[in-house]
A = this chain, B = another copy of it.
């Protein structure tokens, strides 16, 4: 039986290692993980102490988290010190991240792909035609993922769609099992 502190520590490290995947540095992710694992919000000083980070690092991390909509800044009355509160609705957190990254990274990609296709249309060489064909396929695939992301952002697709997929997957498994 492990105690809360041990699990918390492991959890925070796991969360930190997932940071780069979501587009934030490990230190930033660590702060979010730490906040999630605590009952109440925390001040910069508490975070500093809890994670052994410098004041500057905590400040940077919290600002980034606020930009992502993963942390809110509260203010205890009678104090000047800001209190940081994590977004605990993880689905909303996920949506925030997906939305921001889509805008920053995905949309420009799609735009550039769509720019290039007409530019190659008039080229005659086989080489150009093969390249054009591949660009079109890439555009189609990227566009589709884009549409899925769009739907996800426009409301709880996670619920509507996730359930459908779950059921479909379950049915498939059963079907396969009964065959063999």
Contacts and interface: CB of A to CB of B under 8 A. Distances in A.
Interface of A: 1-4, 7-8, 10-11, 14, 18, 21, 36-39, 88, 90-91, 94, 105, 109, 112, 116, 119-120, 122-123, 125-128, 130-131, 134-135, 137-138, 141, 144, 147-148, 150-151, 154, 157-158, 161-162, 165-166, 168-169, 172
Given A7-B116, A162-B147, A154 B169 contact: yes
> How many copies altogether?
2
A11 B116 contact: yes
Given A7-B120, A10-B116, A39-B127, A165 B148 contact: yes
A70 to B, nearest CB: 13
Is chain A's binding surface mostly helix, strand, loop or mixed? helix
Contact of A131 (B2, B37, B130): B37
A69 B23 CA distance: 25
Given A38-B131, A151-B165, A137 B90 contact: yes
